[in-house]
Every structure is written in structure tokens, then in C-alpha cells.
Structure 1
Amino acid sequence: MDNITHARVLKIALPIVLSNATVPLIGAVDTGVVGQMGQAAPIGAVGIGAVILAAIYWIFGFLRMGTSGLVAQSHGAKDPAETGAILMRALLIGLAAGAVFILFHRLLFALGFAIAPASAEVEELATQYLTIRVWGAPATIALYAVTGWLIAVERTRAVLVLQLWINALNVILDIWFVLGQGWGIEGVAAASLIAEWSGLALGLWLCRPAFAGGQWHDWARVFDRARVKRMMQVNGDIMLRSILLQGAFTGFIFMSAAFGDVTLAANQVLLQFLEITAYGLDGFAFAAESLVGQAVGARSVRDVRRASVLTSQWGVGGSLVLGIFFWVAGPGIIDLMTTEPHVRIDARSYLPWVAVAPVIGIASWMFDGIFIGATRAREMRNSAAISVLVYAVAVVVLSGWGNHGLWAALMVMNVTRAVTLGAVYGRVERAAA
């Protein structure tokens, strides 16, 4: 395995940070283009449709993480045949999941509208939007596998190219279909559909080393029972971990509503700061996935430790920069995000929580990357279960502090995740030994 240096960490991390910075662009352009139609209903329809799709696609995030860890290990072990086979298994899972999604889309969309009801006009338009977008499900889910493979082999510049292609094509087609051709909300959906499938085609081309030598269609290896079982176990544990954590964040929003509309709105604004944190620091966690995974595959305890330390140093540095930025620029960002004076005042009063959140949360996020690289998914699942339980207890104990108590409980959950994963970090090194 090549030497692990600060330059190597940054080479992996920075393209991911830049790639993440383009993600909010799509939602903004979709909203802006539809807004030119001069009607409120289409804007609401695109918004609710995008939320429903994001919630369903989010479930399959395990495919990126599981693929990343497993491929990194086979790459570190210099086993190109298994590296290609893992990608093929993940692609088959993604395409099959997308096909099932298409088969049951009416039921899933009806459930989405039941959870987030809207006016009859908005639901009708959202249904038109979703009925087109659903055909991109196999491509979108399969792209998780492609992204995981590229991160694992340190080709994060290719991830950036892929993201830029999908987003730029989506924007161009949005403008052409909606403003040029007058296709309305169906034009927005068609633009996304074309961008998704072309993105998968480009992604497969970027992964072409995985298909060299014919290992990708070595079906005896691809469907090897032991390897498939391990992949399913890793992915299953990661999925359970993600559901637990998402449930905690969803509960945070629901509990915020008990403090009134103003506090709910303030929390919603402040949660965007946490989203910025995730986008800004993901690159270092992804670097840990790749480097730790390769070190485990190469059976090098020294490299596991060095990869963990170096990526975490950059993660901590990034968290301090973000924390200071939120503290200094936070009030101005809040004013940009809302013009309602009471929401502004309320959000400012809770701003210190999001200023310290990156510093408090960085250990748990970096441990996630380290444990994904080592495919210690069971430990991640157990840590999430314990942390969510502690979070629930903290919510009750700190309820007397109102919304401050709710934010404090969220911080307690992140600290618990860090402590519980840190306590079993030795298993990562033993996996390499």
C-alpha cells in the first residue's frame, strides 16, 4: 500500500467537498425554473415530490457505504477480480431495488401523500412529476454503488466529474424543457430522468477498470454464497444503523413542533447548518473509508492507525473552521434564510448549538468512516441503537430546558456515538491484524 500522507488525504477529500457543494444546486434550479410558471402549485408539487423520492432513495444509502468498505479492502488486498465482482453485485442490487420501486410506486407514493398531505391540485401535479421520475430509480440507486466504488479506489475526482455532469445536464434540460418547450412540471421530471440515466452511463465508464479482464461476469464469483452473505450482512447492519439515526433526527423535528410554529421554523433553519456541516466534512470521512479499508485489505495495522489519525486530524480542523464560521456568520445566514423577525430572533438564541455541533460531532462522523472502511457494520449498528436510546432518555431528562434541552439531547447522542465506537476501535485494528 502506498504511503498515507496529508496530501493523499486531501486528494481524496477535496473533490468530495466540491462535489457536495453542487448538490443543493438542483433543488434551487428546479424551484427557480418552475417558479417562472407564475403558479404556486407546481412549486409545491416539485418540492413534495422531491422530498418523497429523497426519503425512499435515502434508504439505499447503505449501498454506497457497504460497497466503499468492501471494495477498499479488496483493493488493498490487490484482488481486482473481487473488486469488480463487488461492484457487479452492488449494481445488480441497485437495479433490482429500482425495479421493485417501479413495481410498487403507486403504493409508495400514496403512502408519501398520506404522511405529507397537500391540496388536490398539488398532489395531482406531484403525481405527474413522480410518475416520470420513478423510471430513473434503477439508475439513481445503482449510482450509489458506482460512487462507493470510485471512493474506495481513491478516484474522487471522477465522483466530482460525475456529479457535475448530472447537475449541469439537469440544469440545461430544465431550462430547455420548461422555459423553452413549455413542458411545465413534466419537463422538470424529464430533465432529471435523462440526467440520472446518462449519469449512470458515465459512472460505469468511469468504473471501466472494474470491468477489465472479464471478472465482472465471473458469475461463480459474483454469486459466491459466502461473499454474497457477507455483503448482505454489512449492508443490512448499515441500513439499520441509518434508519435508527434518521428516526432520531425526524423525532427532533416532530418534537420541535411542540414548542410552537416559531421555534419549529427556527429549528428547521438551523438544521440547514447541520446539512452544510455534513457536506463540508463528508470528504474526510470518505477518505477514512478508502484508506482504512485499503489498510485492512493489505493487513497493515500501522496503516489503519495512520489513516485513522491523519483523516481525523483534517476532520477536526474542518470542524473548528465550520464552528467559527457559524458563530461569526450565523446571524447573517439566518437573515438570508428567513425574513420573519420572530424566527430570526429565536434562531439566533439557539445558534450556539449549531456552532459547537461540528466540534462535538466530528468524532462520531470520523469513526463512521473508519468503521465503514473496516466493514465493522455490526458495531455501527449497535452504537446507533445505544445512542438513540440515550438520546431518548436525554430528551426526557432535559425537557425542562425546552428547545435548548432538545438541542442538548442531540449533542448527547453524537457524543454517545463517538464514545461507543471509540470503545471498540481496537476491533478495527484487529481486523487488519
Structure 2
Amino acid sequence: MHNKDKQILQIALPSILSNITVPLLGLVDVAIVGHLGAASYIGAIAVGGMLFNIIYWIFGFLRMGTSGMTSQALGKRDLPEAVRLLIRSMSIGLLIAICLILLQVPIRQLAISFIQPSTEVAHLATRYFHICIWGAPAILGLYSLTGWYIGMQNSHIPMLIAITQNIVNILASLCFVYLGGMKVEGVALGTLIAQYTSIIMGLVLWIHRYGKLRKYIHLSSDKLLWAKTAMLRFFQVNRDIFLRTLCLVSVTLFFTSAGASQGEIILAVNTLLMQLFTVFSY
């Protein structure tokens, strides 16, 4: 095996393992609420999870776009620009997250009115949504950080973060539901704790592994960081990714809405099918 092939595998294999862990988060939530004794619990996770899939997938360009542009900066040995890309991407992600939190009520009302689930599912999904929405800063920040790590040809750290996130999510959700006697709220809190654990771990590992790059943060003036040409390039690169993701999530939205219109049982069964489809996709 050539050295180039080995280098590609060193980057690709951890990324593959990280991707495999992604659908496990949804599977764990469904598996836990599936033992609570009512299809409405699975339906609530389906509706709530679908809302966050739409919200977060739409802004998945924070990861993919950041990865591509960071790799270009690394190839040119332009480390100050690589650092600016991380700050720029995480700042945009934080701004989007704040907007999502401020607009959480109209977003939830619009989604519920479009999907039209049963009264019980809508009630449980609302409780799930209003807890998990506070994880938006962590998730969008982690998108930027993960994309930056991959762009720097370091896919091992994202793999460790993804594995840790799953372990924390499983343990926290099980504790809240089975030890704390909580229902959907316990699953939501477990997910929220796992999300913030991941972003904190990602930042700590960045300081440990790339602490020497902190000097470029102080050298990056606001003029360079928010330069019009740099911002235009950032959004132009991510425009097509955004539109592509929008088309994908519209299919998921239709599938969930169609299942909800046929009752809690059909919605629960469709949720299980979608989870299997997600596993096969990754």
C-alpha cells in the first residue's frame, strides 16, 4: 500500500466510524421511549426528532463548507486564515442558534400545524422540542468545529467526540427515564447533556491539540475576519449545499407528515422504518 493510500485511509476510516455513530442517537431515543408503553411516545420522538433534523441538516453547510475551505487554507499553509475560518463559522453558527432559540415558539407552531399529529403526540413533541432547542448552540458550534478538524486532516478527534456523545446520551437518557421516572423529557435532557458534553470536549481538545494557533486569534483583526469578500465566499460555497439539503429534508418532512395523518400507530411504525433507512444510509 502506497503512503498516499495510507494517508487517505487514516483520514477516511475515523470519518466512517463517526458517521456510523450518527444514527445511533436516534435509535437509542426510539428504543428507550418504545418501552414506555404507548405509541404516542415514539410518535413524539418522530415529530420532535424530525424538526431538529430539518433545522440542523439545513445548516449542515457549517460543517461541509468549513471543511473544504479549511483544507484549502491548510494546503496553502495559511494557518491564520484557517483560524479565521473556524471563528467565522462558529460565530455564524452561534448567531443562527440564538435566532432559533428566540423563534422557537413560532417554529414549533408552524411545524406542528403542517404535520398535524394527534393531540397527545403534539403535546409530547412540544415538550421534547422546547428542551432540545437549547442544544442549538452546541450542535451548530460542533458542526463548525468538526468541519474544521476534518479540513485540518484530523478525523480522529471528531470520531472520539461522536463516540463520547453517544455514550453520554445513552447513559443520561437511561438514568433520567428509568431512574428518574421521566418520560419524553428524560430523553430530551439526555440528548441535551450529550450535546454540550460534545462541544466542551471538542473545544478542550482544540486547546490541547492546536493551542499554538491561539496566537492567530489575536492577530486576526475584525477587518480580516469579517471582510466582505471572505463572507461572500463563505456563503457562495455553502449556497448549493444548503439547497441540496433543503430538498432532502423536504422528503423526510413529507414522510413524517403523511404518517402522522394516519394515526399514532402508523407514525410510530414509519419512525422505525426511517431509523432503519438512516442506519443503511450511513
| Equivalent position of 1:214 in the other structure | 215
| Equivalent position of 1:176 in the other structure | 175
Q: What's the offset of the Cα at 1:201?
A: 1.1
Output the CA distance in 2 between the equivalents of 1:144 and 1:88. 12
Q: Is the 8 A contact 2:53 2:249 kept in 1?
A: no
Unpaired runs of 5+ residues, structure 1, are 258-264, 280-433
Output the CA distance in 1 between the equivalents of 2:29 and 2:217. 37
Question: Bigger CA drift: 204-213 or 229-238?
Answer: 204-213
| Equivalent position of 2:265 in the other structure | none
> Letter of the aligned partner of 1:131 in structure 2?
H
Q: What's the offset of the Cα at 1:90?
A: 0.3
Output the CA distance in 1 between the equivalents of 2:27 and 2:247. 29
Unpaired runs of 5+ residues, structure 2, are 260-268
Detail structure 1 runs of 4+ shifted over 3 Å in the superposition. Answer: 244-247, 249-254, 268-273, 275-278
Output the CA distance in 2 between the equivalents of 1:212 and 1:193. 30
Between the two proteins, what is the percent identity of the paired residues? 36
| Equivalent position of 2:263 in the other structure | none
Q: Is the 8 A contact 1:84 1:211 kept in 2?
A: no
Secondary structure of the equivalent of 1:182? coil
| Superposed CA offset, 1:301-343 (max 9, x none) | xxxxxxxxxxxxxxxxxxxxxxxxxxxxxxxxxxxxxxxxxxx
Q: What's the offset of the Cα at 1:27?
A: 1.7
Q: Is the 8 A contact 2:50 2:252 kept in 1?
A: no
Structure 1 residues 231 and 194: CA distance shift in structure 2, 3 A: same
Secondary structure of the equivalent of 1:22? helix
Output the CA distance in 2 between the equivalents of 1:86 and 1:173. 33
Output the CA distance in 2 between the equivalents of 1:226 and 1:211. 27
- Residue in structure 2 matching 1:232, options 225, 235, 255: 235
Matches within 5 A, 1:74-153: 74-153=73-152
Q: How many correspondences in the alignment?
A: 266
| Equivalent position of 2:42 in the other structure | 43
| Superposed CA offset, 1:88-111 (max 9, x none) | 000001111011001111111112
Output the CA distance in 2 between the equivalents of 1:201 and 1:50. 23
Give the CA RMSD over aligned residues.
2.7
Q: What's the offset of the Cα at 1:185?
A: 1.4
Choose between structure 1 and 2 for higher RCO, CA contacts under 8 A separated by at least 6 residues. Answer: 2
Secondary structure of the equivalent of 1:5? helix
Question: Bigger CA drift: 83-92 or 107-116?
Answer: 107-116
Secondary structure of the equivalent of 2:138? helix
| Equivalent position of 1:166 in the other structure | 165
Structure 1 residues 36 and 102: CA distance shift in structure 2, 3 A: same
Output the CA distance in 1 between the equivalents of 2:205 and 2:92. 19
Larger Rg: 1
